[in-house]
Amino acid sequence: MIPRARKIRTGLRRSPLSKPRRRPPPQPKRPTPALNALKSAAAEDPSAALHHLLSSSNADYPACASLLYRLARARLFPELDALLLFIRSRRIPCSNSLFSALICHFSLASLPHKALHLFYSIPSFNCSQGSPSLHTFNHLLDALVSNGCHDESRCLLDRCSEFGLRANHVSYNVVMKGRLSRDGYDGALQVFDQMHKRGVSPSVVTYNMLIGAAGRNGELSKAMGLKEEMVKKGIYPNAVTYAILMKGFCSSGKYVAAKKLMFDMEYQGCKTQVVNFGVLMSDCGRRSDFDEMKALLAEMRLRKMKPDDVIYSILINYLCENGRMDEAYKVLVEMQVKEGCKPSAAVYRMMVDGFCKVEEFEKGLGILNAMLVSGHCPRLETFGSLISGLVNGGRMEEVCFVLEEMVKRKLGLDLEEWHSLVDTACGKCNGSGELFSQLTSMVFVGGDEG
DNA sequence: GTAGGGTTAG
């Protein structure tokens, strides 16, 4: 498991086929000390990098954009606001894709109104198109819908002409997703009708959402009927459509029918993809049918399909849930060696939690180490269960290692967790003062624990 | 950009 530095997205990558641009003025060969300071600060602390940038004279788009992304990822929103004000006042040119990316970050941080505010302020920036693009608009709709602002999203959809935009199928699909989550199938159907009245054609995604809703309601013939309807309209089901249908069958306990559909789809002119196997694998996992899971993997190999990281994470997840940690570990190694799949944070989490569950805390610690080295950060709960396990086993050196890693990541235990940790440690070692002081010397890092 | 197997998000 080789650690790899995470790439910083600058939004500046150009295709080799894109037109050559005017050559920029020659740059000095050696970076200035100020630039060096900025670079090293940016590598460590985006907030420090901001202060350097605001006081530097050569703040250009690349520097600003990469710092904006870093601040957004670190969720340092006050700093991000300051940088946006700076970019606006300096008339630094910026692209619509930058605004889209920031809107997505605001959405993930549950700040839909911040996303809305940024969208409205786009014309005040030196933005390449001068106004928001349909892409940016659709991202904003999604930010609202994903955060439960259904009425705002519908309102905005009706007002798109004010921004010089014409809503497309994606805009309606996003709003339909919102209605589906709030009002179910019938609500979604209202958006579907509205779409039709306004002359926007449904897409395969539109139908996939309706089919999914029908399947979740257990209305399998309705789901199949929708598939026929789309074909009649010349909208062709894709592998995702079949995956959604198969999932419907599985959730009604019809695994065999789902599997048959996976074979039938090929005859209906749609190539089976990994996602279709994923549906079957998950259903087998829920029923702890590991033999069938193995058979599915063999079938994939027979078809020369490469199991991806998700397929492996399904398998590992259920092996861990069933306490079959030796097998899970084998699969973890196999996915990396045989397929070159990099385990995701989720897979590492499953493995650490799985080892904790069977009380093999040292093996859990080994996985945690690999996880940290590969640049993933465990959840607080994962850290917690590992620590309490190690404390129970009296492995204080390891506990301190884990606590130090938490401190590095500004993760803190709350007061209650500290109490239980200290209680356990003292209980284990008859109130050993040394252990107690080792533990309490760790800094409180949550900020307001007192 | 929106749907989809795993999920902490990407």
Which nucleotide lies closest to A280 by the C1' atom and the CA atom?
A: B5
The predicted pLDDT at position A341 comes to 87
From the C1' of B1, which residue's alpha carbon is nearest?
Answer: A135
Spatial separation of the C-alpha atoms in residues A328 and A326, rounded to whole Å: 5
> Which nucleotide does the CA of A169 lie closest to, via C1'?
B2
Q: Which nucleotides of B are covered by protein (CB under 7 A)?
A: 1-10
Measure, in angstroms, how far nucleotide B2 C1' is from residue A91 CA: 33
If you measure CA to C1', which residue is closest to nucleotide B3? A205
A153 vs A294: CA distance, rounded Å: 45
HSE (side-chain half, CA atoms, 13 Å) at A25 = 1
Query: Which nucleotide's C1' atom has the smallest distance to the CA of A243?
Result: B4
Task: Kindly state the tokens that stand for A231.
Answer: 């074909």
User: CA–C1' span, A185 to B10, in Å?
Assistant: 28
Q: Are A447 and A414 in contact (CB under 8 A)?
A: no
Give the helix ranges, DSSP H, for A122-254: 134-146, 150-158, 169-197, 204-216, 220-232, 239-251
* Lookup: nucleotide whose C1' is closest to A240 CA: B4
Q: What is the pLDDT of residue A50?
A: 86
Q: Residue closest to B7, CA→C1'?
A: A346
For residue A353, give the nucleotide whose C1' atom is nearest its CA. Answer: B8
DSSP state of A250: H
Residues of chain A with pLDDT under 50: 1-32, 35, 38-39, 41-42, 431-433, 443-450
- Closest protein CA to C1' of nucleotide B10, residue: A344
Contacts of A123 (CB under 8 A, 6+ apart): A130, A131
Nucleotide nearest to A279 (CA to C1'): B5
Output the distance from A151 CA to B9 C1' rounded to whole Å: 26
Separation of CA A271 and C1' B4 in angstroms?
15
C1' of nucleotide B2: residue with nearest CA: A170
- Residue A325 CA to B5 C1' — how many Å? 22
Quickly tell me which residue has 């954009």 as its tokens.
Answer: A65
pLDDT of residue A385: 82
Interatomic distance A61 CA / B4 C1' (Å): 36
The contacts of residue A107 (CB under 8 Å, 6+ apart) are A115, A139, A142, A143, A146, A147
A331 within 8 A of A341, measured Cβ to Cβ: no
Question: For A180 and B6, how far is CA from C1' in angstroms?
Answer: 23
Which nucleotide minimizes the distance between its C1' and the CA of A345? B8
CB atoms within 10 A of CB A158: 12
Quickly give A285 CA vs B8 C1' distance in Å: 21
Q: Residue A116 and residue A120: Cα distance in Å, rounded?
A: 6
- Please compute, for residue A168, the number of CA atoms within 13 A of its CA located in the half-sphere on the CB side: 12
Stated in angstroms, how far is A194 CA from B3 C1'? 19
Residue A417 neighbours by CB under 8 Å, 6+ apart = A384
The distance (Å) linking the CA of A131 with the C1' of B5 is: 38
Residue nearest to nucleotide B5 (CA to C1'): A278
Res A435: pLDDT: 53
Measured distance CA(A323)–CA(A235) in Å, rounded: 45
CA–C1' gap, A24 and B8, in angstroms: 42
The nucleotide lying nearest A142 (C-alpha to C1') is: B2
How far are the Cα atoms of A218, A292, A293, A382, A415 from residue A298, in angstroms, in the given order? Answer: 30, 10, 9, 33, 50
Nucleotide of closest approach to A109 (CA, C1'): B9
The three-state secondary structure class of A127 is strand
Residue range A227-265, pLDDT digits in tens: 999 999 999 999 999 999 999 999 999 999 999 999 999
- Separation of A310 CA and B6 C1' (Å): 5
CA-CA distance, A279 to A248, in Å (whole number)?
10
Number of neighbouring beta carbons within 10 Å of residue A324: 18
